[in-house]
Structure 1
Amino acid sequence: MMDQNTYRPISKEVHSQDDQDFHFLKEEGIKVIQRLGNKLWTDYNTHDPGITILEILAYAITDLGYRLSLPVEDLLLGEEKSNYLKRHFHMASDVLPCKALTELDYRMLFMDIEGVKNSWVEPYKKEVFMDCKNVKMAYEPVIWQGIPDKDKKSFELKGLHKILVDASDEISFDQIRKNVMRAYHQNRNLCEDLVEVIPVEAHPIQVCAIMDLAPDANEELIAATIEWNIEQYFSPNLHFYSFEKMLDKGYSADEILEGPYLKHGYLDPQEMQAAKLRNTISQSDIIQLIMDIEGVESIKDLSINHCDESLSGNGWVIEIPEGRKPILCDKSKFNFYKGLLPLNVNQEAVSNYKKVLVDQFREEQYGIKEKGFALPEPYDHSLEEYTSIRNDFPEVYGVGPLGIPESAKGMGRQEKANQLKAYLTFFDQILVSYFKHLGQVKSLLSVFETRERTYFTARIADIGDHQTFLGEFYDSGNLYEDLMAPFDERNKRSQQLKDHLLARFGEKFSDYAFLMKKIYGSGVDEQVLETKSYFLKEYGNISAERATAMNYFRQSAKNLWNSSNVSGFEKRVALLVGIKNYFRKNLSKSFVEIFPTSNSEGEAGFKWRIYDLNNNIILSSNKFYQGRTAAHKDIYLVIQQVNAVSPEMINTSLDQFEDVPEENFQFACFQVSISASGRFSFGISDPDIVNQDSPDFIIASQQKFFTFQNFKNALLSFKSFMVEHMDDEGMFVVENILLRPDFNEEDLNNQHFLPFCKDDCGQGNCLDPYSYRVTIVLPGNSFRFADRDFRDFLENIIREELPAHILAKICWIGRANTGDLEQEDQMSPFEQAYKNFLSGLTVGDFQYHEEFIKILSELHSIYPTGTLYNCEDEDESNAMRDTIILGRSNLGTI
């Protein structure tokens, strides 16, 4: 008999407590009603109309809950079923692979080149000798003649490589060398370079054997197979696999996609690491592989030896010199018997069979393998489809499609039904908005899209009688503007969505957003959002190229300048600080002039103006600035505000006027003014100043006036110019290792090295100015870069993103005083010298090295000028941001 103490009754509490549990939702709703309306309403039984409404609402919520629980692929399905995931996410094949980074990555990369059986990356050793007395460098120790030992120093260049290639005989090595060089430079790491590609030196081995074959064996096929198997033993071919085969080998998806993305399939990293140059040849191994061939019955005799008679080796095991690969030499001989009869082997037939084996391997090896994996098939659930909850009410309520019975229309029932319909529309509108939001999840969480609105709603008109109790506004009005727009903080919500997506990649923009807000106020909110959005769009590229350098090998002029052929480091840093155009381009040309002036009280200060391509002034500042930093701040604020206004908004805002307006008006950042003669001009407002009567409300104005018919085109032209030409931000990353002189230059006078100081020869100082060093050149007088806080932020970003083993020298160059147009500009000669240097580097011409090294070594940073802070002057407690406090202000770094 069951022990009464162990008996436990089945619980009646079976609710799942989620949004798909009708009974749970109903009971929770009744609890809320009891808490809020217990003094007015005490009947919560099923017959009560209020409970009926609650039940129908609970049922509608279960439908919403069901759709929310659908598989992710169903929620993301849009209008097109093909490639639906690619419209919203970066694919694994885009973000998980990377350009070659490690030695194993490079070996895999070269294996993807047809004709490369294997390869090895080794350091290229080159010593540089230093004469510390006369401050000279050379590649030969002849420079040390006549100087004391204490002045003799030397160092070895690091980051240089040579590649040993085990190549097949079917493709010329010159072609293979060219392909390897091209692949290396497309994946070259920052501050590294390739000096030479050489074939692995062969070491011939003689193999002689006498074998008995089966009576029906094909001796020519067996001879070809023996040669092929011995060659594979000497230097095995590595195999490409499909994605499915790699899964079968025990690798996970992220492990399979590590390293470079190869066109012929995937390589097993363990096989690659084990594939080393063979240093011994064993007679027993060869006997085993011959006996494994079908048709070979026995081996009567077998011998192995060096083909070079001057070398001697053990008859059972032969040692192979380091760095060489064994090959089967032409002294090898294979004799075959069938019983007592010797066989004559047709060598032409053997060659034909050997060719078939080689071609079969090449077809299997270099045929494109299935590299992807099946994505889930989505099902279209029509997520946004919604029908009014009035359809679910009993007919006696008269709110459904059938309406009020004819017999009850004269008793005031219609008016009461209309009141209930209007009441239920409140719930309908909330529910349809939720369903509409669900249909837009795919766009809101997309890494490629940024919506103009983040709240959504729709009309409920499936019954068709809404005009009788809602009026015409429901059809003619804009429901979003009427219901959602006041609550839709679009920028704030979009920022949160982008932060969520960025966090999934382990990225954050909180410091950048805080700094931009601190310097420029709320006027750059759209620019910050655009920075996050563009970073997410480009993440597939910058994640794969994070450690790569520019490709300088055999490039055309158009791919060296005004080109995206820059290092992955430059791309990433640019996108992290809101520079969308990370091309290598001219930065010395500026359309902005900041000029010194004085105010009515005689105080010295600055104003600014912007010129167009024809040197006409298109915008002039209204404000007077005591420091250039404040002027730069407003210039950048104006640019970002204008860029945030779309051409569509300009068209819509001006097309709304049926007649020529007679009073000043505003839209977005534009303050449109009308002259006494009825002509139009505009100014740009400060978004952080609410009082429009403030003298600082208008930052800058255009002094030209237009008729209303021409005003729209003038605004659009102004907008287009600001977007296309007001771009003075960028950087140049110079890898010092590429500045080394030609290794083949014997004349010491033509070996142009980077300069160094005698102090560099001191104990503990770094002698090597080349290895793992970069010089980063930035425009010091561009709008944001002239700000001291932004410079500090950018320098920190550069050091955080630069690989830890690379040391950077950061130079901020340009005109120290933007208002003095006669002052020397360092940027222009630097850009020209750098362009010449790259044009020579790409073809191996060193004629521009001396000029570029000279200009690079003479660069000096410019710093934002400021006013020394006066601690005794209490009025300076709120001094402008240009103030400098001794011992506390970071003026910059060299």
Structure 2
Amino acid sequence: MPMIDQLTIPKQIDTSLGPEYNALRTEGMQHIRDLASAIWSDYNVHDPGITTLEMLCYALTDLNYRITLPVENILAVDHDNANSMHEQFLSAIKILPTYPVTPDDYRQLFVRIDGVRNAWIKKSPHSIIANYKQPDGKPLLRYAKPGENALTGKEVKFDLKGINDILIDFEDFPELGGDVAKIKAKQDDIIKQIKSVYHYFRELCEDLDQVKAVENQEIVICAEIELQPQADPEMIWARIMFNIEQYLTPDIKFYLLKELLDKGMQPDEIFEGPVLDFENLQGIDTKFTKQGFIIPAELAASQLRTEVRLSDLYRIIMEIDGVRLVKRISFGFCGCTAPQSEVADKIYKSNEWLLCVQDGHKPVLCETNSSFTFYKDVVPIELKQSEAQADLNQLRKDWQDNVEAKKIVDLPIPEGDYRDIAHYETLQNQFPENYGISPLGLPETATTEQRSLALQLKGYLLFYDQVLANYFAQLSNARILLTADDSIRKTYFSNTVNGIRDAEKLLDGYAQWEKTVDDVIKETGQDNYPERKNKFLDHLLARFAEQFNEYVFLMYRIYGEDYQRNIIRHKVKFLKDYDQMSICRGSGMDLYNAKTPDQQLVNVSGMEKRISMLLGFSNYKMQQLSVEDYLLFKADALHYNWTISQLGVVKFKGNANFLKEIDAYEDLGLVSVLACDRENYRLSPGATAGKYVYNIANSAGTLLTHNDMEFSAAAIETEIAFIIKFMQNDFKMEGMYVIENILLRPPFDYTGDDSTHHQFMPVCLDPNGVYCEPLDPYSFRICVILPGYSVRLRNTAFRTYAERLIRTETPAHVLPRICFIGHDQMVGFEAAYKDWLAAKHIAVSTDTPIDPVLNSKFIDVLEKLYTVYQQGQLSDCDDDTQETNPIILNKTSLGTLQGGTNNNS
């Protein structure tokens, strides 16, 4: 089978004809010879045709020069250029970091809190045992005790995943003077800040168990050290102590952006990791006082040390300037209360070379019992302890001052220089003066014929002028074409040709010429704005590896071309909010930090935000979906119709009656889309003189609504703007809830006693010990709840797409249970969820158990939810009426969407 050539765009394009005037002229001359050699043979420079060719070549070189300007110059504007560039592009600090994903990501955030020297996040070990040998056949669940195993033939055990503990290495707080009560209060405040940060950035399906201080394991070091003759013993002692501290429990080093760039790190490496834009975080009060950059490899190397090697200590001491020789060194664990000399003798005799640190502990130097003896040659040196301690304190202060001096700055966006690319002067002014078309014009003695010929030439050249002027305008507006903005609804731009003498003699209405050219482009249909703007937006989406292709095809299938402009709006909204769409895509809801009402509305998981935008929902706010802003009703015994309301006032009424309920819903859905765009509104005189009514029309001009409310000419535009804003941002037609199962677990001190009213979620485990995978109902499990009765989610094709998208966008390690529930179910669910959410927020923020009755009630409601399907009908073979909806396996039900029992077919 013959190979099919692949059509590709070459990476290297020959642009030699662009900048080279001579090359363009040569190419033009060849075209003249090919096309007109039979009637034109004089190609000398004095020929008017050759002169015209040369002028056009010059204009093209000017155009090419502007095309090849640096991109930042092409995109620059003449005022507030810096702000314009930041609107056009997401800076490094906004697009490269993400919410924390790995333990080290969380650590980067924790160590920025004042008073935290280091922090570690560990898995909290908790397991559940299910006893399946129960009289009623229902498994009995309880938390396993430490080290407890399941009884063979009676129980099964599974580990809870996603539960974390945080260990904190607090700073010493020398400013508190050793006051135990003040230090305890300071540490408690830091623990609250740690919890605040964790819950603000909490990953989906994970939760926090304990936050506690890491315990110390003291190590005694004894050494005899010979110094150089000129060495300062006090400073040597201070450096030894400081360097050993950094070895045992290293502090995190912070850097400036310039320092990392000088190290050869690339911007994507520097900004990799958790969020750095601390100034713009909303809904969290924690202050991140340490704001330098952190090198991930250095952070990873600062894990809790599991062993201490004597050879490492020897190396650390020998690397200090002024140390000549380590005569002998030994170490061991502290715990001896004997005099220092006896401890030293015992340590030297131990001959240990490796100490294993207890799990979950940090090794620290026991200053009380550690002994460092210094010599210069054979003479022992007596340390001035106060001076040595002062030197050590200064080293610690210098380190802390260096940390506080480091600040995070964004990578600057190139701003470019504004070059007024759109400005174009007519090429007619470049012709020799004897042509009579330059600004000087013709002499007063010129005849009428000469003036007419000059105007004829001007008119001929004006065609080229206008084409070139439009090219310059198009290049100048590249910024508008490649931006997530649909306020300027055109993709072809025109320009006025400047500098033409007697232009008013060539063109009627020259002052409005630019508008005239725009009107010509629009009337001839050359600028298909919806199609071309969608392509530009697809290009921008592709730069983030995003696409709406399947969604677009599906919406065309349901609504046709009428949905095209709405797709533009969805893409623009997605791109404008893309930093949030990408930065927190794996995050969960914040249940700890206090929120303002507006912040609480958008306090949802990252996947909810992203999926809502990809599905074209009007917003991702937490709103009551059981109270709709629309109503579908029986217009008469056979027909359906609908209304759309805003704040209880009907704004739109359907203009047609439908035999099929699903057709009425699709008509309602189409109007909800068209009502988002002013171009789809039609005004007509009302019954009262000077009053007007508005209605919605589709692309064919057919009115889809009727309305009796009358407004004045000024008031009706205000009303329409109010409705458009509502339809775009607040119209309650669709939405979703994501429930994380791990948040429904009983407190870890629950023993399974029914008297406490706590409840485990049910497991799929039969009395013979056979169970469905996965048995664990909590770990990395979510429930996604959507209104199966809403306009688009009734549509089988859209529902299938929505379910597939949800599974695609859900983090790979999380298993979703997806339910498209009925209206009655949604009413019950939202009531239980509202109560549970309020109680859970109080429980998490106060570190107290949730009300077990509310928690159990919500579990019961959640477990009883099921997907509802569009009603189908069974009929005989001869029944072909319009109301017949076939029964399709797993796609229809015997019942209604409004309530009652739906039996899945």
| TM bin (shorter chain) | 0.7 to 0.9
C-alpha separation in 2, matches of 1:587 and 1:627? 24
Match of 1:490 among 529, 550, 555: 529
Taking CA–CA contacts closer than 8 Å with sequence separation of 6 or more, which of the two structures ends up with the larger relative contact order? 2
Q: Name 1:402's counterpart in structure 2.
A: 440
Q: 1:397, CA displacement in angstroms?
A: 1.0
Residues 866 and 850 of structure 1: is their aligned pair in 2 closer, same or farther, counting only changes over 3 Å? same
Residues 180 and 888 of structure 1: is their aligned pair in 2 closer, same or farther, counting only changes over 3 Å? closer
Q: Name 1:103's counterpart in structure 2.
A: 103
Q: 1:720, CA displacement in angstroms?
A: 5.3
Q: Partner letter of residue 811 of structure 2?
A: P
C-alpha separation in 2, matches of 1:726 and 1:178? 38
Q: Name 2:732's counterpart in structure 1.
A: 727
Q: Name 2:156's counterpart in structure 1.
A: 153
C-alpha separation in 1, matches of 2:691 and 2:328? 107
Q: 1:538, CA displacement in angstroms?
A: 1.2
- Tell me, yes or no, if structure 1 residue 385 matches structure 2 residue 412: no
Any residues of structure 2 matched to 1:65-464 within 5 Å, and which? Answer: 65-79=64-78, 80-132=80-132, 133=134, 134=136, 135-140=138-143, 150-170=153-173, 172-213=186-227, 217-262=231-276, 264-299=291-326, 301-309=328-336, 314-323=350-359, 324-329=361-366, 330-336=368-374, 344-369=382-407, 371-373=409-411, 375-376=413-414, 378-407=416-445, 409-447=446-484, 451-464=488-501
Paired residues, number: 832
- Tell me, yes or no, if structure 1 residue 846 matches structure 2 residue 850: yes
Cα deviations across residues 695-745 of structure 1 (Å, max 9, x unaligned)?
xx3322113345667555554555455456523322111100011011134
C-alpha separation in 2, matches of 1:717 and 1:617? 14
Q: 1:864, CA displacement in angstroms?
A: 2.4
Structure 1 runs of 4+ with >6 Å offset: 310-313, 890-894
- Tell me, yes or no, if structure 1 residue 500 matches structure 2 residue 539: yes
When the two chains are superposed, the root-mean-square deviation of aligned CA atoms in Å is: 3.3
Q: Name 1:3's counterpart in structure 2.
A: none
Any residues of structure 2 matched to 1:626-705 within 5 Å, and which? Answer: 626-645=659-678, 668-675=680-687, 680-687=692-699, 689=700, 697-705=702-710
Cα deviations across residues 362-388 of structure 1 (Å, max 9, x unaligned)?
122243246544554623322112111
Q: 1:576, CA displacement in angstroms?
A: 1.0
Runs of 5+ consecutive residues of structure 1 not aligned to the other structure = 1-14, 646-666, 691-696, 817-822
Contact 1:74 1:378 in 2 (8 A): yes
Residues 435 and 781 of structure 1: is their aligned pair in 2 closer, same or farther, counting only changes over 3 Å? same
Runs of 5+ consecutive residues of structure 2 not aligned to the other structure = 1-13, 174-182, 277-289, 338-345, 894-901
- Tell me, yes or no, if structure 1 residue 772 matches structure 2 residue 780: yes
Cα deviations across residues 841-868 of structure 1 (Å, max 9, x unaligned)?
4334411312222222222333222445
Contact 2:682 2:694 in 1 (8 A): yes
C-alpha separation in 1, matches of 2:644 and 2:315? 83
Q: Secondary structure at the match of 2:425?
A: coil
Q: Secondary structure at the match of 1:85?
A: helix
Q: Partner letter of residue 853 of structure 1?
A: I
* TM-score, normalised relative to structure 1: 0.85
C-alpha separation in 1, matches of 2:250 and 2:870? 63
Contact 1:779 1:827 in 2 (8 A): no
Q: 1:260, CA displacement in angstroms?
A: 1.3
Residues 813 and 303 of structure 1: is their aligned pair in 2 closer, same or farther, counting only changes over 3 Å? same
C-alpha separation in 2, matches of 1:538 and 1:368? 30
Q: Secondary structure at the match of 1:752?
A: coil
Any residues of structure 2 matched to 1:618-629 within 5 Å, and which? Answer: 618-629=651-662
Q: Name 2:176's counterpart in structure 1.
A: none
Q: Secondary structure at the match of 1:155?
A: strand
Q: 1:49, CA displacement in angstroms?
A: 1.7
Residues 492 and 42 of structure 1: is their aligned pair in 2 closer, same or farther, counting only changes over 3 Å? farther
C-alpha separation in 2, matches of 1:373 and 1:710? 47
Contact 1:813 1:827 in 2 (8 A): no
Q: 1:228, CA displacement in angstroms?
A: 1.3
Cα deviations across residues 22-53 of structure 1 (Å, max 9, x unaligned)?
23323333444455556655544433322221
Q: Name 1:569's counterpart in structure 2.
A: 607
Q: Name 2:639's counterpart in structure 1.
A: 605
Q: Partner letter of residue 260 of structure 1?
A: P
Any residues of structure 2 matched to 1:52-71 within 5 Å, and which? Answer: 52-71=51-70
Q: Partner letter of residue 172 of structure 2?
A: D
Q: Secondary structure at the match of 1:87?
A: helix
Residues 471 and 607 of structure 1: is their aligned pair in 2 closer, same or farther, counting only changes over 3 Å? closer
Q: Partner letter of residue 884 of structure 1?
A: P
Any residues of structure 2 matched to 1:451-600 within 5 Å, and which? Answer: 451-475=488-512, 478-486=515-523, 487-556=526-595, 558=597, 561-562=600-601, 564-598=602-636
Q: Secondary structure at the match of 1:776?
A: strand
C-alpha separation in 1, matches of 2:688 and 2:321? 104
Q: 1:326, CA displacement in angstroms?
A: 1.7
Q: Name 2:343's counterpart in structure 1.
A: none
C-alpha separation in 2, matches of 1:98 and 1:226? 39
Identical aligned residues as a percent:
32
Q: 1:577, CA displacement in angstroms?
A: 1.5
C-alpha separation in 2, matches of 1:279 and 1:677? 88
Q: 1:251, CA displacement in angstroms?
A: 3.4
C-alpha separation in 1, matches of 2:542 and 2:15? 32
Cα deviations across residues 360-419 of structure 1 (Å, max 9, x unaligned)?
111222432465445546233221121110111111111110111223x22510011111
Q: Which moved more, 1:843-852 or 1:430-439?
A: 843-852
Q: Secondary structure at the match of 2:676?
A: helix
Residues 835 and 104 of structure 1: is their aligned pair in 2 closer, same or farther, counting only changes over 3 Å? closer
Contact 2:832 2:857 in 1 (8 A): no
Q: Which moved more, 1:302-311 or 1:541-550?
A: 302-311
C-alpha separation in 1, matches of 2:580 and 2:830? 31
Q: 1:516, CA displacement in angstroms?
A: 1.0
- Tell me, yes or no, if structure 1 residue 748 matches structure 2 residue 748: no
Residues 303 and 137 of structure 1: is their aligned pair in 2 closer, same or farther, counting only changes over 3 Å? same
C-alpha separation in 2, matches of 1:610 and 1:445? 35
Residues 228 and 422 of structure 1: is their aligned pair in 2 closer, same or farther, counting only changes over 3 Å? same
Q: Name 2:285's counterpart in structure 1.
A: none
C-alpha separation in 1, matches of 2:649 and 2:333? 83
Q: Partner letter of residue 164 of structure 1?
A: L
Residues 48 and 301 of structure 1: is their aligned pair in 2 closer, same or farther, counting only changes over 3 Å? closer
* TM-score, normalised relative to structure 2: 0.84
